[in-house]
Amino acid sequence: MDNLFADLPAHLPEEAVETLVSSPGARLERIVSLGHATPAGRWYDQDTNEWVILLRGAAAVRFEDEPEPRRLGPGDWLDIPAHRRHRVEWTVPNEPTVWLALHY
Protein backbone atom coordinates (compact mmCIF):
# COMPACT_ATOMS: atom_id res chain seq x y z
CA MET A 1 0.00 0.00 0.00
CA ASP A 2 1.35 3.41 -0.93
CA ASN A 3 -1.45 5.55 0.51
CA LEU A 4 -3.12 5.26 3.93
CA PHE A 5 -6.48 6.11 2.37
CA ALA A 6 -6.25 3.62 -0.51
CA ASP A 7 -8.44 0.54 -0.64
CA LEU A 8 -10.77 1.56 2.18
CA PRO A 9 -13.48 -1.10 2.38
CA ALA A 10 -17.10 0.02 1.96
CA HIS A 11 -18.40 -2.70 4.32
CA LEU A 12 -16.58 -4.11 7.33
CA PRO A 13 -18.00 -6.89 9.50
CA GLU A 14 -15.00 -6.30 11.81
CA GLU A 15 -12.35 -3.61 12.10
CA ALA A 16 -9.58 -4.02 9.52
CA VAL A 17 -6.10 -4.04 11.06
CA GLU A 18 -3.07 -4.05 8.79
CA THR A 19 0.53 -4.05 10.00
CA LEU A 20 2.50 -1.52 7.96
CA VAL A 21 5.90 -1.78 9.65
CA SER A 22 7.21 -4.11 12.33
CA SER A 23 10.51 -4.49 14.12
CA PRO A 24 11.60 -5.74 17.54
CA GLY A 25 9.92 -3.43 20.05
CA ALA A 26 7.64 -1.56 17.63
CA ARG A 27 4.68 -2.19 15.33
CA LEU A 28 2.82 0.35 13.18
CA GLU A 29 -0.75 -0.48 12.14
CA ARG A 30 -3.44 1.05 9.97
CA ILE A 31 -6.85 0.42 11.52
CA VAL A 32 -10.09 1.05 9.64
CA SER A 33 -13.37 1.19 11.56
CA LEU A 34 -16.87 1.65 10.22
CA GLY A 35 -19.32 2.08 13.08
CA HIS A 36 -17.29 -0.30 15.25
CA ALA A 37 -16.94 -0.13 19.03
CA THR A 38 -15.36 -2.28 21.70
CA PRO A 39 -17.94 -4.85 22.87
CA ALA A 40 -19.83 -3.91 26.05
CA GLY A 41 -17.92 -4.74 29.21
CA ARG A 42 -14.60 -5.28 27.39
CA TRP A 43 -11.49 -3.16 28.04
CA TYR A 44 -8.18 -3.19 26.21
CA ASP A 45 -5.32 -3.85 28.63
CA GLN A 46 -2.18 -4.00 26.50
CA ASP A 47 1.35 -5.02 27.46
CA THR A 48 2.86 -2.25 25.33
CA ASN A 49 2.44 1.51 25.03
CA GLU A 50 0.29 2.69 22.13
CA TRP A 51 0.41 6.03 20.34
CA VAL A 52 -2.64 6.42 18.11
CA ILE A 53 -3.74 9.20 15.75
CA LEU A 54 -7.10 9.49 14.07
CA LEU A 55 -6.61 10.47 10.43
CA ARG A 56 -10.16 10.41 9.05
CA GLY A 57 -13.66 10.02 10.50
CA ALA A 58 -14.55 10.40 14.17
CA ALA A 59 -14.50 8.27 17.30
CA ALA A 60 -14.69 8.32 21.08
CA VAL A 61 -12.19 6.56 23.33
CA ARG A 62 -12.92 6.00 27.00
CA PHE A 63 -10.38 5.30 29.72
CA GLU A 64 -11.55 3.24 32.67
CA ASP A 65 -10.25 5.88 35.11
CA GLU A 66 -12.07 8.79 33.43
CA PRO A 67 -15.81 9.49 33.71
CA GLU A 68 -16.35 10.64 30.12
CA PRO A 69 -15.06 9.42 26.76
CA ARG A 70 -12.67 11.57 24.72
CA ARG A 71 -14.05 12.53 21.32
CA LEU A 72 -11.47 12.35 18.52
CA GLY A 73 -11.47 13.97 15.09
CA PRO A 74 -8.86 14.11 12.31
CA GLY A 75 -5.45 14.97 13.71
CA ASP A 76 -6.28 14.11 17.34
CA TRP A 77 -3.91 11.67 18.99
CA LEU A 78 -3.47 9.78 22.27
CA ASP A 79 -0.44 8.24 23.95
CA ILE A 80 -1.76 5.30 25.95
CA PRO A 81 0.62 3.78 28.53
CA ALA A 82 0.82 0.01 28.81
CA HIS A 83 -1.98 -1.44 30.98
CA ARG A 84 -4.08 1.72 30.98
CA ARG A 85 -7.48 0.19 30.38
CA HIS A 86 -9.42 1.79 27.53
CA ARG A 87 -12.11 1.09 24.97
CA VAL A 88 -13.55 2.53 21.77
CA GLU A 89 -17.04 3.79 22.60
CA TRP A 90 -18.04 4.48 18.98
CA THR A 91 -16.84 5.27 15.49
CA VAL A 92 -18.95 6.97 12.83
CA PRO A 93 -21.07 4.51 10.84
CA ASN A 94 -21.36 6.44 7.56
CA GLU A 95 -17.67 6.76 6.61
CA PRO A 96 -14.46 4.88 7.34
CA THR A 97 -12.58 5.98 10.43
CA VAL A 98 -8.85 5.59 9.74
CA TRP A 99 -6.39 5.26 12.60
CA LEU A 100 -2.61 4.94 12.68
CA ALA A 101 -1.43 3.05 15.78
CA LEU A 102 2.17 2.68 16.96
CA HIS A 103 2.68 -0.05 19.57
CA TYR A 104 6.02 0.41 21.30
Q: What is the pLDDT of residues 50-98, one digit of tens each?
A: 999 999 999 999 999 999 999 999 999 999 999 999 999 999 999 999 9
CATH 2.60.120.10 is held by the domain 24-103: yes
The answer, yes or no, to whether residue 1 has pLDDT greater than 80, is no
Q: What is the mean pLDDT of residues 37-43?
A: 96
Q: What is the mean pLDDT of residues 35-50?
A: 97
Whole-number Å distance between alpha carbons of 70 and 62: 6
At residue 9, the pLDDT reads: 82
The answer, yes or no, to whether residue 24 has pLDDT greater than 70, is yes
pTM of the full structure: 0.92
Q: Which residues have CB under 8 Å from 23's CB, separation 6+? A: none
